Amino acid sequence: MADLPRGFRVRLAADTHRCDDGRTLFGGSSGRLVHLRPAALERLDERDALVVDDPTSARVARMLLDRGLAHPWWNGSPPAPTTDVTVVVPVLDRPGPLDRLLSGLGGVPAVVVDDGSRDPAALVEVCRRHDARYVRHPERRGPAAARNTGLRTVTSDVVAFVDSDVVLDAAALAALRRHLEDPAVALVAPRVLGLDEGRGVLARFEAARSSLDLGPSPARVHPHGRVSYVPSAVLLGRRDALGRGFDEALEVAEDVDLVWRLAREHVVRYDPSVVVRHEHRTTTTAWLRRKAFYGSGAALLAARHGDAVAPAVLAPWAAVAAGAVLAQRRWSLPVALAATAFAERSLARRLRGSDRPHRAAVAVLAVGLHATLTQTAGLLVRHHWPVTAALAPFSRRARRAALVAAVVDGVLDHHRVRPDLDLPRYVALRRAEDLAYGAGLWWGCLRARSARALLPSLRTRSTPVSTDSTDTPREATP
């Protein structure tokens, strides 16, 4: 991995926990656990921040970034104006939104790719007014092809893909651009919120729970991470790292495919401190169709990326505990507790660098248990709801499990996102979203004649504690 430049700052993530007087870190966006040796620990200041100023601080910063335990931090300093960014906008008609987008760019060069619009003259006029370059596909080829045409047209070092129904300004592009100060970063995305958060029920739900909004916490993006993808509404990246660009064979999930291909060799980041606005769908039919459309892409991703698209990733102990709880038998609780206790003892033995290995192991497993219950609920009411629905008429346990999952998941999610919407309607819309997504998922699997996107994955690999050097961190992965 390329070295970080001197002066680069990182700061521990808000969800990174510290114990053993700060020497043991765990959590973050990847759930990893590391032990810091004294030379590494002393680099962190009272704000849990670190400035790269020597080889040791560079190695520590890189490790913390790679494990999702820290994120880039600019200490409130404003970004420098962009000088090497070109915006690529794929568009199909919609001259009004295009005009709104280009008006906010403040002179940043733009290439507009018309993907077979019925009225190209209107788009040409908008581009003329804003001095944007216009390129046309005579026939519709899809958004992936339109973005790739723009990518081949661009000559700047950095390219930003921006959908026409987005509103952003040059300051947002500049804030995203500074992530590329890290030479390992190939792609970065902002937080996407609704443009019109009106008073309609769907508008208020989307304002809190849009598929494009990946939350308030920054993350390194990778499969099965807390943020596992970023949408193509706004993506900024290095032109030379983007290679052939988007897969033009994909009409859906082409953005996820690009992100996962880049994440194999580069770093992809999500920065919610940069906020852009998107014109969400807020009519019931269009909203449900869009959710189903997103679900249909999972089978296509599974064919290209294997179990990266698995709906749940469970450690063996967690799978046993979840299965025991779902069985709802007298032996369920003892089996679940036994599996968790076995995992705790196994992990504690590997935490040799901790002063209180059992306490650290319990803390780590508590995070894992929460993730397991969340994923299990998702399987019941989202990904595998057709199976749940088929079993419910014949099984009281299936009905009970589905009801508990549907209600508890909705209540906890309502508490977490705190929407401007009452609990009953929020839960109802959350379940409607799940039904639409799950229907699209199963339809996509049927078309692909593959159930791979429906299968959970077992995580069996673990990384032992490393003892390589006196000035590098040591790590354990539960």
Going by their DSSP bridges, the two strands 110-115 and 133-137 should be labelled as parallel
pLDDT recorded at residue 465 = 36
Q: Looking at the structure, do residues 26 and 168 belong to the same domain, yes or no?
A: no
Domain end residue (candidates: 59, 77, 95):
77
CB 272 within 8 A of CB 172: no
Domain end residue (candidates: 77, 112, 134):
77
pLDDT recorded at residue 460 = 67
Burial class (CB in 10 A: 0-12, 13-18, 19+), 448: middle
Q: Looking at the structure, do residues 55 and 126 belong to the same domain, yes or no?
A: no
Q: Looking at the structure, do residues 109 and 175 belong to the same domain, yes or no?
A: yes
Q: Looking at the structure, do residues 145 and 255 belong to the same domain, yes or no?
A: yes
Q: Range of 398's domain? A: 313-458
Q: How many domains does the chain have?
A: 3
* pTM (predicted TM-score): 0.90
Q: Looking at the structure, do residues 43 and 91 belong to the same domain, yes or no?
A: no
**E strand or H helix that includes residue 151:** helix 143-153
pLDDT recorded at residue 41 = 87
Q: Looking at the structure, do residues 400 and 354 belong to the same domain, yes or no?
A: yes
Q: Looking at the structure, do residues 232 and 343 belong to the same domain, yes or no?
A: no
Q: Looking at the structure, do residues 145 and 52 belong to the same domain, yes or no?
A: no
Residue 325 lies in a domain: yes
Residue 3 lies in a domain: no
Q: Looking at the structure, do residues 257 and 325 belong to the same domain, yes or no?
A: no
Residue 307 lies in a domain: no
Residue 472 lies in a domain: no
Q: Looking at the structure, do residues 35 and 161 belong to the same domain, yes or no?
A: no
pLDDT recorded at residue 299 = 97
Residue 374 lies in a domain: yes
pLDDT recorded at residue 353 = 66
- Chunked in runs of 10, what are the mean pLDDT values of the chain (478 residues)? 88 86 75 80 89 92 91 91 94 95 94 95 96 96 96 96 95 96 97 79 88 92 92 96 95 96 96 93 89 96 95 92 93 94 90 78 85 92 96 95 94 92 95 97 97 90 36 38
Residue 301 lies in a domain: no
Q: Looking at the structure, do residues 64 and 15 belong to the same domain, yes or no?
A: yes
The closest alpha carbon to 94, from 118, 75, 110, 70, belongs to 118
pLDDT recorded at residue 309 = 94
pLDDT recorded at residue 280 = 83
Mapped onto helix, strand or coil, the DSSP state of residue 160 is strand
Q: Looking at the structure, do residues 133 and 258 belong to the same domain, yes or no?
A: yes
Residue type, 26: F
pLDDT recorded at residue 471 = 38
Domain end residue (candidates: 282, 304, 333):
282
Residue 383 lies in a domain: yes
Q: Count of H helices and E strands in the chain?
A: 15, 18
Residue 467 lies in a domain: no
Residue 141's CATH number: 3.90.550.10
